[in-house]
Amino acid sequence: MLSKRIIPCLDVRDGKLTKGVKFKGNIDIGDPVEVARRYYEQGADEIVFYDITASSEGRDIMIDVVKRVAETIFIPFSVGGGIRTLEDMRKVILAGAEKVSVNSGAVENPKIISEGAVAFGCQCVVLGMDVKKVNKSAKIPSGYEIVIQGGRKYMGIDALWWAREAENLGAGEVCLNSIDADGTLEGYELELTHLITTNVKIPVIASGGAGKKEHLRDVLTTAKADAALIASIVHYGTYTIAELKEFLSGNGVKMREAW
């Protein structure tokens, strides 16, 4: 039986973590490679890196980070943020990432999904979706709309339609981020997660809102997500990944127990 995955997300700018990460009994560490190693040792099932660098110099630094991560941890990891071209994808994959995540780049140019799937295989291409709840309408029948630029720009695209479209184009996985829930620490958007994961055949990673261990249980059971993305809940030392997994295992969620 397949285990549900727990996936810490690290935001990187100019090669450094943008939020401090505290491990119990340790001070903040700003090196993404070092933090990735710690999460790997603590039982993370996968790691997501999100590059929020603006400059091209910063992007080269990120490729160097990816290379060092690939020499350090031996679990899958994905890299997203600013991926717009096949060449962007190629650089990240050649540097050692298992998967590459496209978000606004795919909204602007959906062909990048199919081109990436042909060039590197479906399993490499993750569609990142930023979603906000809106009133249901003829244009947005699910009541969930695709947004970009951190939620500032509404794209007039229905989230459910887009997830299915991306699946047809060859995406291997969806990383579904609720902008409404993101940063609240009040729990994942369960309704949205359930809607998407039960209407596509590819795995769905739920993102945004994890603040308590019960939130992970709810999104992985009630909302049927295949994986849960986490950030603050582990970065600030509230729980270790091992503690979250132990709680989830005890609550009937199938977890990878040994690492």
Interacting residues with another protein (CB under 8 A): 1-5, 40, 45, 70-71, 74-76, 94, 96, 98, 120-124, 172-173, 198, 201-203, 224, 226-227, 256-259
**What is the smallest separation between the CB atom of 8 and another protein, expressed in angstroms?**
15
Question: How far is 248 from 244, CA to CA, in rounded Å?
Answer: 6
**What is the smallest separation between the CB atom of 197 and another protein, expressed in angstroms?**
9
Measure CA of the first residue to CA of the last residue in the chain; give whole Å.
17
Please say whether the beta carbons of 9 and 207 come within 8 A.
yes
**What is the smallest separation between the CB atom of 144 and another protein, expressed in angstroms?**
20
| CA angle (28 as vertex; 23, 30 as ends), nearest 5 | 115
Q: Which is nearer to another protein, 93 or 140 (CB)?
A: 93
Enumerate residues 6+ apart whose C-beta is below 8 A from 27.
Answer: none
Could you please report the per-residue DSSP string of 48-104? EEEE---SHHHHHHHHHHHHHHHTT--S-EEEESS--SHHHHHHHHHTT-SEEEESH
**What is the smallest separation between the CB atom of 221 and another protein, expressed in angstroms?**
10
Q: Which is nearer to another protein, 18 or 249 (CB)?
A: 249
Q: Which is nearer to another protein, 70 or 242 (CB)?
A: 70
Question: Is 158 labeled as catalytic in the residue annotation?
Answer: no
Give the other-Cβ count within 10 Å of 164's Cβ: 17
Enumerate residues 6+ apart whose C-beta is below 8 A from 230.
Answer: 6, 7, 8, 9, 210, 216, 244
**Which residue in the list 45, 51, 88, 130 is annotated as catalytic?**
130
**Which residue in the list 11, 14, 31, 226 is annotated as catalytic?**
11
Longest CA span, the chain: 53
Question: Is 226 labeled as catalytic in the residue annotation?
Answer: no
Return the amino acid letter for 131: V
**What is the smallest separation between the CB atom of 102 and another protein, expressed in angstroms?**
17
Q: Closest Cα to residue 130, out of 207, 29, 18?
A: 207
If you ran DSSP here, which 8-state letter would residue 151 be given?
Answer: G
Give catalytic residues, as residue numbers: 11, 130
